[in-house]
Amino acid sequence: MSGNTGSITASKISSFVLLVVFITLALSLVAIIFAAAIVGGFVSAGNDMTGAYVLLALGVLGVAICTYVLAETRRRLLKLKIVVPPVMTTIECRKCGIKTVRDFQRGDYIFKETEPCQKCSGMMLITAIYREVKEKEKERFPF
């Protein structure tokens, strides 16, 4: 049984925040559609197009804010994920030096003698257990 990898995720988004975001989004879309209808002449508003432009600006602003809030919430959720990287076990034959690397299995420990070597029938020994973490490129500091 290896099963040493996995992630822990917390997936809690406030339903109130979601409600507010979706109401704002709906209102913004209505504003944009309404503005488009005025500009396109489907709705009569006289010669003054000011109201239509204000509606359009408000609609675009609303959509932008909602997109930003949703993106932020998603980013936060991604941050809530804890990734446990896989742990590897290195097994070496003390006699012929053959080396194999496999996933960690429960019961493995450093300096444990495992099965006989397939090449020379000498005993295989666990010489290392470690996890490899791929780090993002580090920020360079001048100090």
Nearer to another protein, 85 or 116 (CB): 85
Q: CA torsion angle for 11, 15, 20, 24 (degrees, to 10)?
A: 60
131 binds another protein (CB under 8 A): yes
Rounded CA-CA distance 80/69 in Å is 17
To another protein, the closest distance from the beta carbon of 76 in angstroms equals 7
Stretch that binds another protein, among 25-33, 39-47, 60-68, 127-135 (CB under 8 A): 127-135
Which of 80, 59, 61, 81 is CA-nearest to residue 69? 61
Structure tokens at 143: 């100090």
Q: Interior CA angle at 64 toward 61 and 68, to 5°? A: 140
- DSSP, collapsed to helix, strand or coil, labels residue 65 as helix
CB of 28 or CB of 104, closer to another protein: 104
Q: What's the sign of the alpha-carbon dihedral 125, 131, 134, 137? A: negative
Site membership for another protein, residue 74 (CB under 8 A): no
Tell me whether residue 18 or residue 80 sits nearer to another protein (CB atom): 80
Question: Closest distance between another protein and the C-beta of residue 117, in Å?
Answer: 18
Beta bridge partners of 128: 90
Select from 70, 108, 114, 122 the one that contacts another protein (CB under 8 A): 108
Q: Which residues of this chain interact with another protein, rule CB under 8 A?
A: 4, 6, 8-10, 12, 48, 50, 53-54, 76, 80, 82, 84, 87, 104, 106-112, 128-133, 141, 143
